[in-house]
Structure 1
Amino acid sequence: MVEPVAVGAVVAVALVTLTLGARGVRVSRTPADFLVAARQVPPVTNASAISGEYLSAASFLGIAGLALQTGLGALWYAVGYAAGYLVLLATVAAPLRRFGAYTIPDFAEGRLDSALLRKAATVMVLVISLFYVLPQLNGAGITLQEVFGSPYWLGVVTAGSVVTLAIASGGMKSITVVQAFQFWLKLVALGVPALLLLTLVRHPPLAQVAGPAPAVFPRRTLVRFPSAEVLHVAHPVLVTARGLVDGVRRHGPLRLAGTVRVGAGAALTFPAHAPAPAVGSAPALSGRAWSLPLVRIDGRLDHPLAATYGVIVATFLGALGLPHILVRFYTNPDGQAARRTTTYVVLLLSAFYLLPGLFALLGRLSAPGLYLSGRSDDVVLALPHLVAAGALARALGALVAAGAFAAFLSTTSGLVIAMAGALSHDVVRGGTTAFRVAALLVGTLATVGGLAVGDFSINILVGWAFAVAASSFCPLLILGIWWPRLTWVGALAGIAVGGAASSGAVLATMAGAGSRGWPAVLLGTPAIWTVPLAFLTMVLVSRATPQALPADVTGKLLALHLPEHLRPGRRAEAREGRTERVPAS
């Protein structure tokens, strides 16, 4: 049933985003305004904006849904997403800001003097951003399905259109305020319902979380099946059916028993205290299995330690290579402000990531219908209506719907800026008009791509984006900042090998390859081998090509590591004036 309060909350978030984006038309006039907000964003505001665009669909919906479906091992994603910023703080935040480039391709060319490397880095910006934007639009489709009862494609198109118009209007300068607002909205939208549902609303005893998944529906529950499913009904139950069941189109009461085949798009309403059937494709885990702190691939313990390390490597190192995050450090006034911003981000993210585990716990206790339908990503949106009732359920449902939509808009905004900046600044070398055209182009392409990933888990999609980022830009940044012997040939080879290997593994997994055993682990969590491969390639090829070292390595390293007030000249002079120039509008 469509909830008017939730619909109003989602519409309000969209209107605020468009309004602030329209305001950006007046305040964004130069390329610096569009790309890096004129480098005048203070640390607290910047930390809120970074957290806003970093807390994506995976953070708001995906982690809780994956933990509900596959167990507490999925919380390694939350640990990695937050801890990745500690690595970023310790290794690249301040040096990258001191270098003063607008984009990662800017850094690549400015540090290693190679136009070819710049082009390769631009391609990887687009690949990583595309992999990351798809789950955001996927989440928007899921949210509007839950809130509006609309088809999946409508949510994808709505989110894509709102973000594209807002970015094309105001760029980074206006979207910074939007993303800072959206972070605090998301924190409240997840924190208030989690605490109220945990402490004030009646639910099964918490001790039951270590037992089997809930055997009965706590109240009358509607279960929708977006795809065909096989149910095993041990205890016959009378339900209200709508859609295709056992090959016959039903509309009304139906007795289920034995093996039941439910068609795509069907819906079953189970009465209160009815036994929950077992699901053929995704059986509920036992309490011991659900509590195991190791990552499962498609719900199976295929070499779980290797899979867990694959997730850890991808999430710890992937943050370093996310283009929409790194560009934020160029918006700080100086390197000290960049370090302070990162410290605040770690605190904000750590507070937020305490919450998805609570939703997974409550979902396991109270939401057997999500196991049946295979839509565990809906747990945050559905739980208020499953656990609470009346006005409280409607209010909490509206709050989480608004927060979910804000999550998709804020992260998608950062990604569209990164892609539009790569095209307009690094390919076309144009001004504000080129940025607006690029934003419209990439926003449209991302929306089309979002329509094709409706069947994939949000968190899995985001994990793949982190794996590609960790396998390409992470080695470039770490070695480019801290190793003077890196050459452009080595960097190019490492990006090509790491990026191709990780992207190939992701595409193979999406195509259905490697469903079990080691192939499932190595393709599903590729960072465990693609990141070491990329580092090794860069080091070996750089050692073999010393003639490709840049002319002024010492000056470039000083630009990275020496505080601005101690530098014996302007930053542009230290780097031969490469990255301080911006194209005229």
Structure 2
Amino acid sequence: MNPALGLAAFAAVSLATVVIGFYGLRISRTTGDFYVASRTVRPWWNASAIGGEYLSAASFLGVAGLVLLSGTDALWFPVGFTAGYLMLLLFVAAPLRRSGAYTIPDFTEARLESRAVRRVTSVVVVLVGWLYIVPQLHGAGLAIRTTTGLPAWVGQVAVVAVVCVTVVAGGMRSITFVQAFQYWLKLTALAVPLLFIFFVLAGTGAPAVADAAVNPTGAAPAGPYQSISLFVALLFGTLGLPHVLVRFYTNPDGQSARRTTLIVLGLLSVFYLFPTAYGLTGRMFAPGLARSGHADALVLLLPGRMIGGTAGDLLSALVVAGAFAAFLSTTSGLVVSLAGVISQDVLGGSVRGFRLAALVSAIVPLGFAFMTESMALAGTVGLVFAFTASAICPVLLLGIWWRGLTDAGAIAGMVTGGVLCGGAMVAGSLLGAAGTPSWLAQPAAWTVPAAFAVVILVSRATKSRVPRTITRLMTRLHSPERPLATER
């Protein structure tokens, strides 16, 4: 690919992001604008914005790379990502919106009437957010290195700089416009080149640059345990993602939250058709990318290989634009959600505190990205989902649907899930991919049930700590709208 076109694509996406972000600044005036867009975002806008921030580097690049490597085994990723949103629709979306809170720690504090629970939740949410931002920055480094030849850190620093500018400028209202635009850009950036590839195959039956072999790596298929554990991680991990959950606080009411989630399911289902098609096409016509360790770059490189010439370069530039939209939108959503938590718990909850917290939320994971090696994007994000499913999801689900939850049970469950899953992740990184047993490589199948069990057992042992206002709280969560928490 022409490096100049790659740089131009990245510059165009960055400029569009900043311009739209500053448009949001014109209408962001209050604290509510910065945290939850004053709860006025309508379902189609919100669904597009959720699609923009949820479809990360793992979705845009990683799913196609895993399909190239593993074939049908990798289809658990798009299925799990989408099914997680069905769980949101059924069990979380409307009650969470009715809570009236700004952040997940706000919700747990109001539900359990405990500052200690809030503090533990805040630590877990920030940790999850930072873990999720790091793969986005690795993806940006991969894209800039693959398409322009520049060092990986250039892409990572550029993403953080653009995100900081847009988030600090306009908060949630600004980011809503940006992420809605970025969803449709990502969808276009995948769909248009793929259609051209299909036209080439239909017309000539051969790519411009073909690999000598037609078989990919021949990786061993995943066993039943790995598949089940991965699905558990993706299904329950979606319920605890802070940048997704905060979106439901921006809806006007619970009915809008449900409608938003239903639209998101449609948007995700359409989107995931394209990375899957890229992966299957790559298995047939570009298996050498798998053997050379460039599977995650398949989406970036396939248009040039299949079409070639100026047309291939232009289509590759469009894909680069979509890739950077993925890095920017997910990172900005995470930074907004983390800034809301940090600013309220540490910096007093003001607009100035939000802006300072946004800078901290973006710069800290940049340091981690500099210190760590890029791994398979979808696999890395799958581990983050496992951690979220273990540490946040049990407390969130039980807090919404079980009257017997106590503050002691919630804290015990979050600590247990976080320590077990985090320990498995650390052990896996020390042992390396070849030496890691499957139960450590994919820990969700046992860490998530363990976390649920600890929450329930400790809550039953401390049933005297159930809030006395539980009937009123649960009624408000599951009845037509009355905010539970004081809106600031």
Q: What TM-score comes out, normalization by structure 2 length?
A: 0.96
Partner of 1:580: 486
Q: 2:81·2:238 contact (CA, 8 Å) conserved in 1?
A: yes
Partner of 1:559: 476
The answer as to 2:399 corresponding to 1:480 is yes
Partner of 2:46: 46
Q: 1:29·1:432 contact (CA, 8 Å) conserved in 2?
A: no
Partner of 2:267: 348
- Name the aligned partner's letter for residue 370 of structure 1: L
Aligned partner of residue 392 in structure 2, secondary structure: helix
**Equivalent pairs, count:** 488
Partner of 2:88: 88
Q: 1:204·1:366 contact (CA, 8 Å) conserved in 2?
A: no
Query: More displaced, 334-343 or 67-76?
Result: 67-76
Partner of 1:233: none
Partner of 1:264: none
- Name the aligned partner's letter for residue 284 of structure 1: T
Aligned partner of residue 354 in structure 1, secondary structure: helix
The answer as to 2:427 corresponding to 1:508 is yes
Shift of 1:200: 3.2
* Percent identical: 48
CA distance in 2, matches of 1:277, 1:528: 35
The answer as to 2:462 corresponding to 1:548 is no
Q: 2:240·2:388 contact (CA, 8 Å) conserved in 1?
A: yes
Query: More displaced, 385-394 or 77-86?
Result: 385-394
Aligned partner of residue 355 in structure 1, secondary structure: helix
- Name the aligned partner's letter for residue 21 of structure 1: G
What per-residue deviation string (whole Å, max 9, x for no partner) do you get for residues 257-314 of structure 1? xxxxxxxxxxxxxxx77x4699xxxx811xxxxxxxxxxxxx4446x10000011001
CA distance in 2, matches of 1:126, 1:387: 42
What per-residue deviation string (whole Å, max 9, x for no partner) do you get for residues 437-476 of structure 1? 1111121112112223433111111101111111121111
- Name the aligned partner's letter for residue 474 of structure 1: C
- Name the aligned partner's letter for residue 260 of structure 2: T
Partner of 1:335: 254
Partner of 1:97: 97
Query: Per the alignment, do residues 195 and 561 of structure 1 end up closer, same or farther by CA in structure 2, a change over 3 Å counting?
Result: same
Partner of 2:300: 381
Aligned partner of residue 371 in structure 2, secondary structure: coil
Unmatched segments (≥5 aa) in structure 1 = 207-217, 221-271, 286-298, 565-569
The answer as to 2:369 corresponding to 1:450 is yes
What per-residue deviation string (whole Å, max 9, x for no partner) do you get for residues 389-432 of structure 1? 22321221011110000000000000111111110013332300
What per-residue deviation string (whole Å, max 9, x for no partner) do you get for residues 217-264 of structure 1? x666xxxxxxxxxxxxxxxxxxxxxxxxxxxxxxxxxxxxxxxxxxxx
Shift of 1:201: 3.7
Q: What TM-score comes out, normalization by structure 1 length?
A: 0.80
The answer as to 2:380 corresponding to 1:461 is yes
Shift of 1:25: 3.1
Bigger Rg, which one: 1
Q: 1:424·1:430 contact (CA, 8 Å) conserved in 2?
A: yes
CA distance in 2, matches of 1:513, 1:11: 37
The answer as to 2:203 corresponding to 1:284 is no
For 1:287-298, what aligned pairs fall within 5 Å after superposition? none
Q: 2:200·2:307 contact (CA, 8 Å) conserved in 1?
A: no
Q: 2:135·2:374 contact (CA, 8 Å) conserved in 1?
A: no
Q: 1:201·1:388 contact (CA, 8 Å) conserved in 2?
A: no
Question: RMSD across aligned C-alpha pairs, in angstroms?
Answer: 2.0
Greater share of helix: 2
Greater share of strand: 1
What per-residue deviation string (whole Å, max 9, x for no partner) do you get for residues 532-580 of structure 1? 001100100000001111120001001100112xxxxx53xxx4xxx22
The answer as to 2:218 corresponding to 1:312 is no
CA distance in 2, matches of 1:180, 1:581: 25
Shift of 1:372: 3.5
Partner of 1:422: 341
- Name the aligned partner's letter for residue 143 of structure 1: A
Partner of 2:136: 136
- Name the aligned partner's letter for residue 164 of structure 1: C
CA distance in 1, matches of 2:277, 2:197: 9
Partner of 2:109: 109
Q: 1:203·1:366 contact (CA, 8 Å) conserved in 2?
A: no
CA distance in 1, matches of 2:427, 2:226: 17
